[in-house]
């Protein structure tokens, strides 16, 4: 932590500004990763996991036993907190459900507005300095309420090849069972193009660093729907 005491006002903007890398430089790094995952599938994902996450993965998909064991690793206090958050988020998003009522605009012509769930969605969950299990709830619950038939989740593993147990617990709590140990722009590529193991989805949601954001922007140019940059 860097502590700055009583800096002059003309330095405030520089101190508060977030470090931002050049988008063109990031795009030049991300584009080849997307292309390699598209061409080589799981092999490329395993290669990038070793290169970026420093872990050699035999299995990209989280097993049911890993999900079950995750619950055992959490305190009752944390599990209760996650359950309360789930109830609150569920209550909020349940209010978005609509009962459409057809209206006859003229004799024999009925019009109405109806929301239809996206069949297959992908959600990206960062896991850097802190496991963002809250993001699992905020993305997984609306998908569950909307009635999305398939939810694919990607999150980077730690050096031991594991996803934080709180993320896995939150995922199973909201009905997400297709979970993959993939992070970074390669995770976005996996969900956008599909691999031997990871299903291709129709829309990708979730926050991430500048590499993840750039990957989302690049695949959106190819027709993949994303939430927002």
Contact between residue 224 and residue 214 where contact means Cβ atoms under 8 Å apart: no
Q: How far is Cα 154 from Cα 216, in angstroms, rounded to an integer?
A: 14
Taking each helix axis as running N to C, give the angle between helix 210-221 and helix 184-193, from 0 to 180 degrees, rounded to the nearest 10. Answer: 20
**177-204 confidence digits (pLDDT tens):** 999 999 999 999 999 999 999 999 999 9
pTM, two decimals, is 0.87
Query: What 8-state DSSP symbol labels residue 101?
Result: -
List all residues 6 or more positions away from 138 whose beta carbon is below 8 Å from its beta carbon: 89
Contact between residue 26 and residue 145 where contact means Cβ atoms under 8 Å apart: no
The b/e string for 17-37 (b: 16+ C-beta within 10 A; e otherwise) is: eeeeeeeeebeeebeebbebb
Output the pLDDT for position 19: 65
Contact between residue 154 and residue 182 where contact means Cβ atoms under 8 Å apart: yes
Write out the chain's pLDDT in tens, 229 residues: 788 888 888 888 888 877 666 778 999 999 999 999 999 999 999 999 999 999 999 999 999 999 999 999 999 999 999 999 999 999 999 998 888 889 999 999 999 988 899 999 999 999 877 789 999 999 999 999 999 999 999 999 999 999 999 999 999 999 999 999 999 999 999 999 999 999 999 999 999 999 999 999 999 999 999 998 7
Q: How far is Cα 163 from Cα 59, in angstroms, rounded to an integer?
A: 13
Output the pLDDT for position 146: 94
Between CA 31 and CA 38, with CA 34 as vertex, the angle to 5 degrees is 140
Output the pLDDT for position 101: 87
Tokens of 54: 């420093």
Output the pLDDT for position 21: 64
Output the pLDDT for position 20: 63
Q: From residue 218, how far is each of 63, 157, 183 by CA, in Å? A: 31, 24, 16
Exposed, middle or buried, 97 (CB in 10 Å: 0-12/13-18/19+)?
Answer: exposed
């Amino acid at each position: 932590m860097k502590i700055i005491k009583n800096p002059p006002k003309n330095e405030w903007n520089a101190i508060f500004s977030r470090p931002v890398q050049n988008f063109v430089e990031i795009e030049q790094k991300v584009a080849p990763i997307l292309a390699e995952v598209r061409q080589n599938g799981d092999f490329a994902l395993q290669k990038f996991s070793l290169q970026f996450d420093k872990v050699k993965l035999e299995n990209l998909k989280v097993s049911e036993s890993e999900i079950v064991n995750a619950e055992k690793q959490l305190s009752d206090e944390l599990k209760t907190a996650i359950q309360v958050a789930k109830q609150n988020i569920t209550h909020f998003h349940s209010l978005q459900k609509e009962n459409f009522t057809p209206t006859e605009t003229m004799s024999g012509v009925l019009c109405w507005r109806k929301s239809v769930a996206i069949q297959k969605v992908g959600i990206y969950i960062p896991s850097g300095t802190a496991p963002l299990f809250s993001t699992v709830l905020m993305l997984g619950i609306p998908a569950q309420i909307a009635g999305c038939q398939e939810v694919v989740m990607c999150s980077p593993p730690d050096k031991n090849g594991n996803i934080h147990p709180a993320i896995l617990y939150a995922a199973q709590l909201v009905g997400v069972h297709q979970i993959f140990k993939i992070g970074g722009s390669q995770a976005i590529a996996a969900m956008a193009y599909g691999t031997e193991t990871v299903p291709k989805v129709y829309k990708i949601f979730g926050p991430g660093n500048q590499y993840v954001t750039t990957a989302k922007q690049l695949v959106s140019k190819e027709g993949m729907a994303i939430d927002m940059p």
